[in-house]
Amino acid sequence: MLQPIGESLLSRVQELLHYDATAPLIFNSGLFLYMFVAFAAGYLLLRRADSLRILYVIAFSLYFYYKSSGIYFLLLLFSAVADYLIAHAIDSSQSNRERKGWVTLSVVINLGMLAYFKYTNFFIEMANSLVGEGFLQFQNIFLPVGISFFVFQSMSYTIDVYRGTLRPLNRFFDYLFYLSFFPQVLAGPIVRARDFLPHIRQPLMVTRQMFGVGVSLILVGLIKKAIISDYISLNFVDRIFDEPALYSGFECLMGIYGYALQIYCDFSGYSDMAIGIALLLGFKFPKNFDAPYKSATITEFWRRWHISLSNWLRDYLYISLGGNRKGRWRTYLNLLITMVLGGLWHGAAVRFILWGALHGVALAVHKLWLEVVPGSKALGKDMNPVMRVLGWVVTFNIVCLGWLLFRAEDMQIVHLMLYQIFHSFSPQIIPQVIEGYKVVFGFIVLGYMMHFMPEKIDQDMVRKVGSASFWWQVAMMVAVVWCVMQIKSSDIQPFIYFQF
């Protein structure tokens, strides 16, 4: 009797230690929930032992990353060691030339890793298209989850040390804690070292308000991702984008609007859960999404969408290119370059470059509009109501056109969907489509209602959940998990931004 129990226990331990590419450890999985509860218990026991607590979190973070990317967690360790040493070399350099050399080395190392794992086959494809098929052979390269996020985060540390806005850390494990911290290592937010590092060794303090807000953010994130995003993706959006020629123009348009909601709920849901989990551990992350589809200008959209990436591109790329300090046309060019490279950051494909170019051109046109049209406003909240509505319609549809480029597997899909929308809209079948997909459209309406909810109501709801008793919060968590289990129609879906 004891032998089978021992074998079963050993098998379970081996399963927990084994990396399975088909079952990554992610926030919306039951395994993570159980493991986080166990982790939190140990975290609380070590709340007064700073060094042990830091090592404990590092160990769990590396395990968490290993369960998502396997042996490639060593890349995270390599980046941490390299940039920790380079930051000290920058700080101790006697000349500006040496400092530039060291920070350049950091950028080359980090972007070199990103280029190899993310863009090797893209460069091979371009070379083959220029020289001829078969000139170079495609490589079987695994893309480690989150590599785009942690290399940007690590580069920001060495660049800030080079700029003199941050002193290098004296403890390597503090830096490894920052770079590997599991709530945000896979898909952000991209937290700046200067914002995070001062809090690592502060006394652990999780107030009742922090705990309550953390729980409410996790609940909202679960609803966005596991209920709304996954359901409309599996039951509608994916079908449209797979075979757009089989659907009417109305269905194709709804597929684009559905994807706009899907990617928002997916990515902001992850960010909500990451911020909520960090709050439960005593760390405050900045907001990463601020109802971006409320924007009435493209500039406003990029101040509300993926805020940590937008700020990173602005501070470390756009400003480094010269920003708006070198004249009007150079400013427009800098915006275009920044957004094209931002598009390329999202993926190694022409469609991502076109997506970035679309936003770069839109930002440049909006900046030109501000300069030549008296009284025009950069942010929609400053417009009069009529102009705000018109601006919102234009901005939302420009963003959705971008999402079409972003989601379609190739340009043929883009062409087919646009053709259907403009040549085969078929308005007479709209009632039948809505009836056939009434649950999907119900979730789409629910998702957009949540998104456009007045900020005050949203804050009041978070406050009420946060001030509820512990057992009410547990009951709400159980209810959300039950809803997820009832609606889930397949295996747990990874977050969209894991591929970036």
Please write the tens of the pLDDT for every residue from 433-451. 999 999 999 999 999 998 9
Q: pLDDT: is 353 or 210 the higher one?
A: 353
Q: Considering the entire predicted model, what is its pTM?
A: 0.88
Q: What sign does the CA torsion over 158, 159, 162, 165 have?
A: negative
Closest to 482 measured CA to CA, from 474, 493, 494, 470: 474
Structural domain contains residue 314: no
Q: What does the alpha-carbon distance between residue 257 and residue 250 come to, in Å, rounded to a whole number? A: 11
Looking from the CA of 350 toward its CB, the CA atoms found within 13 Å total: 8
Contacts of 162 (CB under 8 A, 6+ apart): 90, 99, 100, 102, 103
Same domain, 231 and 285: yes
Contact 368, 336 (CB under 8 A): no
Contact 241, 255 (CB under 8 A): yes
Same domain, 27 and 101: yes
Q: Quick one: pLDDT at residue 13? A: 64
pLDDT band with cut points at 50, 70 and 90 for residue 396: very high
Contact 133, 178 (CB under 8 A): no
Q: Please name the residue ranges forming H helices in 46-119.
A: 50-69, 73-92, 96-114
pLDDT band with cut points at 50, 70 and 90 for residue 110: very high
Q: Domain boundary residue among 143, 174, 199?
A: 199
Active-site residues, by number, are 346
Q: Please name the residue ranges forming H helices in 281-306.
A: 298-304
Structural domain contains residue 477: yes
Structural domain contains residue 117: yes
Q: What does the alpha-carbon distance between residue 310 and residue 288 come to, in Å, rounded to a whole number? A: 10
Same domain, 100 and 156: yes
Q: Domain boundary residue among 199, 227, 248?
A: 199
Kindly report which listed range (29-33, 68-72, 357-361, 364-368) carries the lowest average pLDDT score: 29-33
CA angle 43, 46, 50 (to 5 degrees): 110
Backbone angles phi, psi at 30, to 5 degrees: -65, -35
Q: Quick one: pLDDT at residue 327? A: 80
Which amino acid does the sequence have at 134? G
Same domain, 23 and 170: yes
Which amino acid does the sequence have at 195? D
Closest to 347 measured CA to CA, from 244, 286, 263, 415: 263
pLDDT band with cut points at 50, 70 and 90 for residue 70: confident
Instruction: Find where tokens 């931002």 sit.
Output: 342
**Helix, strand, coil percentages in the chain from 3-state DSSP, rounded to 5:** 75, 0, 25
Contacts of 180 (CB under 8 A, 6+ apart): 58, 61, 62, 65, 76, 80, 150
Q: Quick one: pLDDT at residue 398? A: 96
For residue 17, the tally of other CB atoms under 10 A from its CB is 10
Q: Domain boundary residue among 174, 199, 224?
A: 199
Kindly report which listed range (60-69, 198-207, 335-344, 425-434) carries the lowest average pLDDT score: 198-207
Q: What does the alpha-carbon distance between residue 148 and residue 497 come to, in Å, rounded to a whole number? A: 10
Same domain, 178 and 219: no
Q: Quick one: pLDDT at residue 372? A: 83
Report, as an integer, the average pLDDT of 273-277: 89
Report, as an integer, the average pLDDT of 213-222: 84
Same domain, 267 and 398: yes
Closest to 289 measured CA to CA, from 315, 316, 311: 311
Q: pLDDT: is 20 or 320 the higher one?
A: 320
Same domain, 56 and 163: yes
Q: What does the alpha-carbon distance between residue 219 and residue 81 come to, in Å, rounded to a whole number? A: 36
Q: What does the alpha-carbon distance between residue 338 and residue 361 come to, in Å, rounded to a whole number? A: 11
Q: Quick one: pLDDT at residue 490? A: 54
Q: What is the DSSP letter of 182?
A: T
Q: What does the alpha-carbon distance between residue 320 and residue 341 come to, in Å, rounded to a whole number? A: 13
Structural domain contains residue 22: yes
Q: Quick one: pLDDT at residue 213? A: 83
245: tokens are 């020629």
415 has a pLDDT exceeding 90: yes
Same domain, 188 and 218: no
For residue 200, the tally of other CB atoms under 10 A from its CB is 19
Closest to 453 measured CA to CA, from 303, 290, 264: 290
292: tokens are 């971006």
Structural domain contains residue 2: no
Same domain, 267 and 122: no
Contacts of 76 (CB under 8 A, 6+ apart): 62, 65, 150, 179, 180, 185
Structural domain contains residue 342: no
pLDDT band with cut points at 50, 70 and 90 for residue 378: low
Q: Quick one: pLDDT at residue 481? A: 66
Structural domain contains residue 40: yes
CA end-to-end span of the chain: 48
Report, as an integer, the average pLDDT of 240-262: 95
Structural domain contains residue 170: yes
Three-state SS at 233? helix
Q: What does the alpha-carbon distance between residue 75 and residue 147 come to, in Å, rounded to a whole number? A: 8
Q: Quick one: pLDDT at residue 491? A: 58
Q: Quick one: pLDDT at residue 177? A: 93
Same domain, 217 and 173: no
Measured in whole angstroms, how far is the alpha carbon of residue 57 from the centre of its chain?
Answer: 22
Q: What does the alpha-carbon distance between residue 201 and residue 222 come to, in Å, rounded to a whole number? A: 30
How many structural domains comprise the chain? 2
Give pLDDT tens digits for 315-358.
998 888 888 887 888 889 999 999 999 998 888 788 899 999 99
Give pLDDT tens digits for 135-163.
667 677 777 888 888 899 999 999 999 99
Same domain, 216 and 110: no
21: tokens are 């590419």
Give pLDDT tens digits for 297-309.
999 999 999 999 8
Q: Residue 113: which domain range?
A: 15-199
Q: What does the alpha-carbon distance between residue 206 and residue 72 come to, in Å, rounded to a whole number? A: 33
Same domain, 250 and 278: yes
